Structure formats: structure tokens, C-alpha cells
Amino acid sequence: MKSAVVVFPGINRETDMMRALEATTGNKPVSVWHTDAVLPKVDLVVVPGGFSYGDYLRCGAIAARSPIMKDIRAKAQKGLKVLGVCNGFQIVAEAGLLPGALVRNAHLHFVCREVKLAVENNSTFFTNRLKKGAVISCPVAHGEGNYICDEETLKALEGEGRVVFRYTQGTNPNGAMNDIAGIVNKAGNVIGMMPHPENMIEPLHGKTDCRPLFESLLAA
């Protein structure tokens, strides 16, 4: 499996993500700079977390208009798998690849801690190695992770099984609607999530709950 990790000014989780991908898939990802116009030929592109452009304007708004995102958007429409994590979720949402938006946490504070995630959809390219309803631990680190959307979009997400992850056991850290932590597009090839699964795959992380997510990539 060939993968690429996109790097923007201010992104700071690209190394973590690349390590996670290499450790679980056996292949070293390529790093793609935001001003590149064309992606290399890959099976998966990951937009990692951090603070692209210092989170000015809206989080992810500037990065979503970078040259590389134009090519990612075009190739995603043709089926390329895209994973956006934390700031990456904000970026792909701002780029129109996923519905809704990520806004300030309801309590207006940055949050950095462990949460519990319920796997709501285990048929995606990132969850197929887990059972539906499985609860895993995963860290979060964000100030704008409060997922919102209009009622029609929310009804579609819930009715079509497009909520992939949901905060559970009272651990919602940001006030997201319906405890939504991650969603997938209608075509099933773009996933966005706020928690950081790349930081819970090795024993040194304290837990390996999120390793099956990356192993799902190979299975897919």
C-alpha cells in the first residue's frame, strides 16, 4: 500500500502519522508539500493534525486552498482514499470533501486528553478490523473540534451510517453534535476524525487501541 502525508506550514503531526503508517503497513509514506500541484501515485493520502497557518481565519480555511488540495479534491472524486485527522479533518471539510464544519469547543478551551470512541461503522477502509460498537481509547488535542452541520446533513449522516466514530462514556471533549468524532463521505473514500489514532498504536504510547485502524488500511 502506497501512501502520502501532506505537509502544510504549522502542521506538526506529520512525523507521527508517517511513523504510524510505516509501522503498520510496512511501507514508508511519501511526504508531499502543500505547494506541490500533483500528488504522486498513491492508494491513500493523509492530511495530518497540527495548526496549519496558525489556525488563522477558520481552522483549515487557508490550507484548504493550497495547490495540493485541488489535486486531492479531483482525485478523491475519482475514488482516491483520503484520511483527515484533527486539523486534517478541518482542512478536508473546508475543501468540501466532507459536510459540516469544525468550530470552537463548546467550553472555549483547548483540550488534550484521552477519550473513548465507539466504532459506529466498521465497513470503512479505516475501521474494517474492528467490530461495530467496539470502544477504543484515543487521544485528542484541539481547540476547534466541535462538529456542527445543518439538520438535513445530520439526518443523512445518521440515516446512512456515515458517522464512523462517536465519543462515548461521557468523554465528548468539545460539544460536537450527537457526540460525532468522525464521519465518512457518501462514496466511502473520505474519512475525517478529530482524535489522533496515530498516537495510540505502540506499547510506548501506553495503549495500542488504535493499531487495528491502521491495519484496516491493508485489509481494504
Give the active site residues.
86, 196, 198
* 3-state SS assignment for residue 131: coil
- In Å, how far from its chain's centre is CA 70? 18
- Give the list of residues 6+ apart from residue 70 with CB closer than 8 angstroms, or none: 37
- Give the list of residues 6+ apart from residue 15 with CB closer than 8 angstroms, or none: none
Angle between helices 211-219 and 14-25 (to 10 degrees): 60
Helix or strand holding residue 112 (H, E)? strand 111-119
- Name which of 220, 219, 210 is nearest 20 in CA terms: 210
Percent of the chain that is helix, strand, coil (3-state, to 5): 30, 25, 45
